[in-house]
């Protein structure tokens, strides 16, 4: 307990930074992934090509490399943001590729007859997707999206290597202060567990609610 009490301010700030990363990266991943899924099922060929290329490239590229490209490459292009913004772009953009495939699999579960019926009523592709298909598809993909976002929380720890003082990033300073390494990582692991178990409970409740609604 001495490690926690002696470093409470440091661990608390790191915990809240990780929470901030989780929320911001999650929003980027959900919005970006849904837009990419829309591109992949779009009747416009360039949009389909873009969505397919993005997903195939990003899913097969290590997150560390993406973080390096964003954190070191953007400044070379005279694009300057804070380190946490670069982390959100990298981690959120990386997770979006996986969210895209989850959403696309959900879209494929919606009977094609519903989309055809909507189009026969004069609805545009955007209207069919947003009003008919996506509301049903998203219900079906709550569990996989929840798993992807929980994995994203763990992946966000890589931001500590780029000067973001998140929960994992607090370990370096505590090690320098002479604290026990095993106890340091024990408390960091507990912090991540609090976040991921809370997310698991929220997604389980959401899945149950939407299943009843269907």
Other CB atoms within a 10 A radius of the CB of residue 61 amount to 13
Q: Under a CB-based contact definition with an 8 Å cutoff, are residues 156 and 21 in contact?
A: yes
CA distance linking residue 125 with residue 63, whole number of Å? 33
Phi, psi angles (nearest 5°) of residue 94: -65, -45
What pTM did the predictor assign?
Answer: 0.86
82-119: per-residue pLDDT in tens? 888 888 999 999 999 999 999 998 888 888 888 788 88
Give the CA distances from residue 115 to residues 48, 122, 139, 169, 209, in Å, rounded to whole numbers and listed in that order. 18, 11, 17, 48, 25
170-196: per-residue pLDDT in tens? 777 776 666 667 777 787 888 889 999
Burial environment of residue 196 by CB neighbours within 10 A (0 to 12, 13 to 18, 19 or more): middle
Could you tell me which residues come within 8 angstroms of residue 52 by beta carbon, excluding any fewer than 6 positions away? 40
CA distance linking residue 187 with residue 140, whole number of Å? 35
User: Which of the pair, 2 or 52, is modelled with greater confidence?
Assistant: 52
Other CB atoms within a 10 A radius of the CB of residue 80 amount to 9
CA distance linking residue 200 with residue 147, whole number of Å? 8
CA distance linking residue 17 with residue 19, whole number of Å? 5
pLDDT at 212 over 50: no
pLDDT of residue 118: 81
Structure tokens at 175: 């090690």
């Amino acid at each position: 307990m001495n490690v926690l009490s002696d470093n409470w301010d440091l661990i608390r700030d790191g915990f809240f930074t990780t929470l901030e990363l989780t929320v911001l990266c999650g929003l980027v991943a959900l919005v970006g992934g849904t837009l990419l899924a829309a591109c992949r099922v779009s009747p416009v060929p360039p949009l389909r090509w873009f969505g397919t290329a993005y997903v195939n490239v990003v899913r097969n590229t290590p997150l560390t490399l993406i973080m390096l490209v964003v954190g070191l490459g953007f400044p070379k292009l005279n694009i300057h943001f804070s380190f946490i913004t670069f982390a959100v772009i990298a981690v959120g953009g990386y997770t979006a590729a996986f969210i895209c495939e989850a959403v696309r699999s959900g879209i494929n579960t919606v009977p094609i007859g519903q989309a055809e019926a909507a189009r026969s009523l004069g609805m545009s592709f955007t209207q069919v997707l947003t009003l008919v298909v996506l509301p049903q598809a998203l219900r079906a993909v709550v569990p996989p999206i929840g798993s992807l976002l929980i994995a994203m929380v763990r992946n966000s720890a890589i931001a500590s290597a780029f000067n973001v003082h998140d929960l994992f990033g607090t370990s370096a300073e505590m090690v320098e202060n002479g604290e026990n390494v095993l106890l340091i990582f024990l408390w960091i692991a507990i912090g991540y567990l609090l976040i991921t178990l809370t997310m698991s409970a929220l997604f389980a409740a959401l899945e149950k609610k939407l299943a009843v609604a269907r």
